[in-house]
Structure 1
Amino acid sequence: MIHWDAHACLPIHPQASFAPIDALRAYGVNYVSVNVGADMNPVSQVMAVIAGFRATIAASPERYLLASSVADIRKAAAQEKIAVSFDLEGALPLMDSPEMVALYHQLGVRQIHFAYNRNNNVADGCHDMERGLTPLGRRMVRAVNDAGMLMDCSHSGRRSSLDIMEASDQPVIFSHANPLALAEHGRNVSDEQIRACAATGGVVCVSGLSFFLGSDNPTADDVARHAAYIAGLVGVEHAGIGLDICFREEGLDDTPSGDFDPSYWWPASAGYDMEQPPSFTPVETWKLLPAALEKTGMSKEEAALVMGGNMMRVAQQVWKA
């Protein structure tokens, strides 16, 4: 059984500690996709972070394995290591160039979405004016499919996400997004989006963020409830987990350079309170999830699919060794 965390955030800093990754491993996670930047992060910061994270992984081969295939994940699990690859949250680091997708793939990025909350030249964010996927965006989808990278619609606008799922010839995922039917928030996804994702063969991975779960102190039971909703709507084979825990490190400043305005990326009008940041389900959630999922009526085998089997299936199809 492989436990797959579809999205986690370390500080966007090349010297970020991997202690949180060790904690995930200790609580049974076999693979984690680690964010290396979003639309607000300049390319210079993203590249420095990728270089730093790759160096950390290479320096501790007894603990980490930079995964490029599902076979690598199985190998890491057999050796009691944690497999890691990277994800990008937005298309701005692609610099409007589809050729950049293959470059990031070579550097270890295996998952990308095209907009982080706000619109850009490729796609719409979920907290901005709705336009749909642009012509450049359609070229980007082809580049992602050709590179063998997971196409992710988290943080994307409704219409853009539907356009992406229509344009992709591979399964599309939401690496960290929750059902709008259970919690009213602009970052959550409608039943229409969940059904469209499932129609591609993809997976909707539940986030452990308080805002998106509709719980001030989210627990494994809250995560399981959202996963069970997805399973009930489109089938258990389309539900997964991406806890989206944002790990902070004292004394490490990862603020993007330039004219960075947090209130633009996380607008109060969309339900964000910069004075009271969200809470996250703790890392220990991974130990509690199997029982929590079974409490919703899932069998052990179905819970195992949600915990990682479904994402393994999709990655097996999409990733190219």
Structure 2
Amino acid sequence: MKALLTGTALLLVTVLTAQNAGKLHQKAVLVDGHNDVLSASVLGKQDISHRLTKGHSDLDRWQEGGVDVQFFSVFTGPKARNAEGVYKDAMEEIDSLEHIAARNPDRMILAKSYADVKRAIKQKKLAALIGVEGGHMIEDDLNKLDALHQRGMRYLTLTWNNSNSWATSAMDETQKGDSLTHKGLTDFGVQVVKRLNELGILVDLSHTGEQTFYDAIAASSKPVILSHSSVWALCPVFRNVKDEQIKAVAKNGGVICINFYSGFISKAYDERLAQLNKVERPIIQDSLWQVYKDSARVQQEWRQYFRNQVADVQPTINDLVDHIDYIVKLVGDDYVGIGSDYDGISALPKGLEDVTTYPKITEALLERGYSKKSIRKILGGNVLRVMKAGFK
């Protein structure tokens, strides 16, 4: 009987926590710092105005997940999709977002100011903001930076995984090290940061190398954002930020938006992934070829084996919240937010399969004893503060 009562009490607590989390989540303003649906789905002619069966995001699911403000990543790699170059690629993606907004005026607003964001929230519409992911897209031309600002760019990620002529990336600083011709920001890179400040565009330091990170912090007169980065101490990979970087962001008054990618959340997942790809893959695929003599069948069997293996080390929502918790304990609850990287990543923590699942994060924070005030900051208040300070 005692065990039954205990079980019933636990169930009641769980139900009440979920109900409280749901109410809090709907009242809070949720800001997601990074989503790649434009390059992942929209360029492939998927209409995100309606619920999709593929991918992580669309307008229906954002509404279900309680998302109020979404930064849409404008992304192209170092090799352009068309002959006119990467700047043209960026402009085409912005065109696509404008078309979506024009078709859905009752559901979303393409925001270009803090006032636009607040108006969208008040009208219960999705505030859509543009973040350009990679400084190579300005093609070393401040006039093109100005033109992207006119189109609505409200943060610029100084680098993607590739460095550019004026800033070095985390990947290159980690892998190439002393072989780089320069490390950090050049004089032109400092000009870029200062121009971003002047125009009211946030300086995004996700993907940047440590030297670029510190050079940009020193050059910026306004709070910075890391739109989709996690904690190095919990998962030591090149894309995550170290304790001293976290402290520097707090001193700057900026915000770090936690990335959901499993390989940036879980050290065990990252290590198992490396073992599978670097060691086991060639051996297993060779063995499968000896059995099947069919490349399609070999790939099918490998993918199944791969899925089974990574499932054992797939992180959970609690592993994700550990990253939030770490930053809060290190520097306080004013400097952390959400930067999912949905539609730009291949593996997610259990329970966070798409944008409808954000309320589970609110529930997990409540279960850890976070106050409603702190949760509202983490879900969106901190990013809104940085927007207010950084936008014009």
After TM superposition, list the pairs within 5 Å mapping 1:172-321 onto structure 2. Answer: 172-214=224-266, 216-246=313-343, 277-279=346-348, 281-282=352-353, 283-320=355-392
Which residue matches 1:274?
none
Please, which of 144, 150, 171 is the counterpart of residue 202 of structure 2?
150
The change in CA–CA distance for 1:11 and 1:72 in structure 2 (over 3 A counts) is closer
Per-residue Cα deviation, 1:33-81 (whole angstroms, up to 9, x for no partner): 0111144242222211111211111121011100122222222222221
Change (3 A) 1:154 1:69: same
CA-based RMSD of the aligned residues comes to: 1.8
Give the structure with higher Rg (CA).
2
1:65 alignment partner, SS class: strand
1:27 and 2:124 correspond: no
Aligned to 1:90: 134
> Given that residues 220 and 285 in structure 1 are in contact (C-alpha distance below 8 angstroms), is that contact kept between their aligned partners in structure 2?
no
- The code of the aligned residue for 2:329 comes to G
Aligned residues between the structures: 292
- Give the residue type in structure 1 aligned to 2:120: A
Moved more, 51-60 or 302-311: 51-60
Q: Does the aligned pair in 1 maintain the 2:321–2:365 contact within 8 Å?
A: yes
Tell me the residue number matched to 2:47.
17
Corresponding residue for 2:169? 125
CA gap 1:16/1:218 in 2 versus in 1, 3 angstroms = farther
Q: Distance in 2 between matches of 1:35 and 1:16?
A: 16
User: Unaligned stretches of 5+ in structure 2?
Assistant: 1-27, 51-56, 81-85, 178-182, 270-312
Deviation at 1:310, TM superposition (A): 0.4
Q: Look up the match of 1:136.
A: 188
Structure 1 residues 197 and 45 mapped into 2: Cα distance closer, same or farther (>3 Å)?
same
SS in 2 for 1:307: helix
2: distance between equivalents of 1:197 and 1:99?
Answer: 29
Q: TM-score, normalised by structure 1?
A: 0.86
Matches within 5 A, 1:95-106: 95-106=139-150
Q: Secondary structure at the match of 1:236?
A: coil
Say if 1:30 and 1:177 are closer, same or farther in 2 by CA, change over 3 A.
Answer: same
| Deviation >4 Å, runs of 4+ | none
Higher helix share: 2
| Deviations 1:87-121 (CA, angstroms, capped at 9, x unpaired) | 11111110101222221111111111111122211
Q: TM-score when scaled to structure 2?
A: 0.71
Residues 177, 188 of structure 1: 8 Å contact kept: yes
Shift of residue 16 of structure 1?
4.3
Residue 175 to residue 87, structure 1, CA distance change in 2 (3 Å)? same
3-state SS of 1:105 partner: helix
Aligned match of 1:255: none
Q: Which 5+ residue runs of structure 1 have no aligned equivalent?
A: 249-276
